Amino acid sequence: MKINSLSVVIMFLFFTGFTYAQDLGSETVEVVKPYTPTVSDASKIRETPKISDSVNLEKRPVQYSIFSVPVASTFAPAKGRATTVERQRPPKLYDNYITLGFGTYTSALAEFYSNIEVTRTDNFGIFLTHNSAQGGIDGVELEDNYYDTELNLNYSSRNRNLIWNTDFGVEHRLFNWYGVRGDEVSNNIIDDIDPQHNYYSIYAGGEINWEKAFFDRAEVKYRYFGDDFESNEHRLTFKPTLEIPIGGELFHTNVILDYLNGSSSLAIGDSEEINYSYMNIGLASSLVVLRDDLTLNLGAAIYYSYDSENSDSGIYVYPQVTASYRAAGDYFIAYAGLEGELRQNSYYEFTKENPFLTPGVGIAPTDQQYKAYVGAKGKLTSSIGYNTRLKYMAEDFKPLFVSTPSDPSEALSRPPYAFGNSFAVVYDKVSTISAFGELNFDVNRKLNLRINAEYFVYDTDEQDEAWNLPDFKANLLADYQITEKWFAGANIFIVGEREDYGTFDFTSGIPVVEENVTLDSYVDLNANLGYRFNDRLSIFARGHNLLGDNYEKWADYPVLGLQVMAGATYKFDFGR
């Protein structure tokens, strides 16, 4: 049992006091201050005590040596070689090329392109193209040859903060109104018909792009268009674009100025001159919002249209909202939109779609009230892409091509397009529902396939049908690099049935439609095969309408049958 020193002290004081109490008698003891121990009263133990030792041992250095004995060896390591990646030589690019081709129906194809480097930043280009055929379609009584020629000159400049270009061009197209029904026109009259028709066009324009400027870009274009039946048309468009960052977002504003003026002195059943003139001014603004996988475009457009010939004007407002969302990266992208616009039609654009028009067709803008669509696109696998879309579109004053009746007047006094062999333009309010689907196959670096199809349902207001609009369209494109020298391609397009005006009754002196005509659907197969001798010279063979079907794209206008063409392309640089 351990007894500490404090207990000993207490016992000592107790017995001592008891002794003094016996000798001195009773006393009063006053405690002035209790005992309060402090840290200084305790002794601290050193963690590292000092060691006192009279014997000091001295460290002796260790000395050692290696006994080296040479060993004979026959091993000789081989020198390593770094693995290299096989590099494909980039193709040689040339500034000029010329293509010539000839085929059946005495067809000819010619292209020439030249790019001249004026300075390190400026270039001048020339492009000439010609496509023609002398005709010879089975069952056609009139001349059916055609040709299309265009020359374009352009000048461009690329600087650090400014890119601009200008172009000037001329076009000449020749067609024939050969769609005459043999049962309505006698052979004697057919021999006196000259169905040839020419279109002429001259245009000039330019485009400018700024970097880090208030104006993002601007473009301007003027075109004169006319024919050999005294029709002429002038069109001027100017479209500047502003881009302003606001709060980390981009604010786009497009200004549209579109002026159209034209006239024609000839039209079936109307000897007066037809004039038209429209001034359209539009402002389209949108805010682009980017949030991770979401892209949102919020905007609207407002147009003011003035018809000076009829002293009529109107204001049109359209939504312009689009959105896309990457739900699963590149594999699934959902998108939707609600858009509209005021689209100005022109005689030039109509003839590009249907060259067999009657001079003096009516021209008016189309009010595309809205176009609502929803779809999805992306990849099924790393080599298969897809795109699907469902769309509903409402349009007012939508142009429709319709066959014109024969003029019941004296045959010799009729113009060459008044034998039921031309087309007029009528306007109607049309609603369209369409479903679209597309697949892209990147089989490998050499083979690429694309298949798409679209189905249409139309609803008209005044017209019986949506004239000459197909109910179905499909297309297949294939490109195949067979070897380094050989290449091939194919194109198959299918167009469904169309409705058009049919036979007419002239008993009352006024043409009355007896029965509408349904144009059959058709399939057109095209293919090409080529061989490349070197970087400069290659030859090709092309086949068009390989099924040989003289289908009718327009009523009473059968197309050329099976066509084959062969030619060559040569690339070069001047002075080399």
Q: What is the CA radius of gyration of the chain?
A: 45
**What's the average model confidence in pLDDT over 548-575?**
92
pLDDT of residue 27: 52
Q: How confident is the model over 421-443, as a mean pLDDT?
A: 94
Query: How many CB atoms neighbour CB 307 within 10 A?
Result: 16
In this prediction, residue 412 has a pLDDT band, given cuts at 50, 70 and 90, of low
- Give yes or no for residue 347 having a pLDDT over 70: yes
**pLDDT above 90 for 479:** yes
Phi, psi of 411 (to 5 degrees): -60, -40
Calculate mean pLDDT across residues 343-359: 95
Give 81-99 pLDDT, tens digit per residue: 666 666 666 667 788 999 9
Give the pLDDT band of residue 410 (cuts 50, 70, 90). low
Percent of the chain at pLDDT > 90 equals 61
Over 70: is that where the pLDDT of 125 sits? yes
Pair of tokens at residue 401? 């091509």
The more confident residue out of 243 and 267 is: 243
Token pair in block for residue 63: 């000395």
Tell me: the pLDDT tens digits for 174-229?
Answer: 999 998 875 566 666 777 888 999 999 999 999 999 877 777 899 999 999 999 88
For residues 258 and 262, give the distance between their C-alpha atoms in angstroms, rounded to a whole number.
13
Look at the alpha carbons of 41, 45, 49, 52 in this order and tell me if their dihedral is positive or negative.
positive
Q: Pairing between strand 498-505 and 274-291?
A: unpaired
Tokens of 221: 């274009």
Beta partners for residue 530, in sequence order? 487, 540
3-state secondary structure of 23: helix
The pLDDT confidence band at residue 536, using thresholds 50, 70 and 90, is: very high
Closest CA to 447 of 420, 483, 410, 418: 483
Q: What is the DSSP letter of 497?
A: -
Q: What is the predicted pLDDT for the residue at 47?
A: 53
Number of other residues whose CB lies within 10 A of the CB of residue 533: 11
Tokens found for residue 347:
């005689």
Tokens of 248: 């980390």
Query: How confident is residue 13, by pLDDT bands cut at 50, 70 and 90?
Result: very low
Mean pLDDT of 462-485: 94
pLDDT band, very low/low/confident/very high, at 1 (cuts 50, 70, 90) = very low
- CA distance linking residue 570 with residue 100, whole number of Å: 9
At a CB cut-off of 8 Å and minimum separation 6, what does 213 contact? 161
Residue with tokens 């429209």: 278
pLDDT at 411: 60
Report the range of poorest mean pLDDT among 92-96, 313-317, 432-436, 453-457.
92-96
Q: How many CA atoms lie within 13 A of 561 on its CB side?
A: 9
The answer, yes or no, to whether residue 270 has pLDDT greater than 60, is no
The Cα–Cα gap between 363 and 278 comes to 10
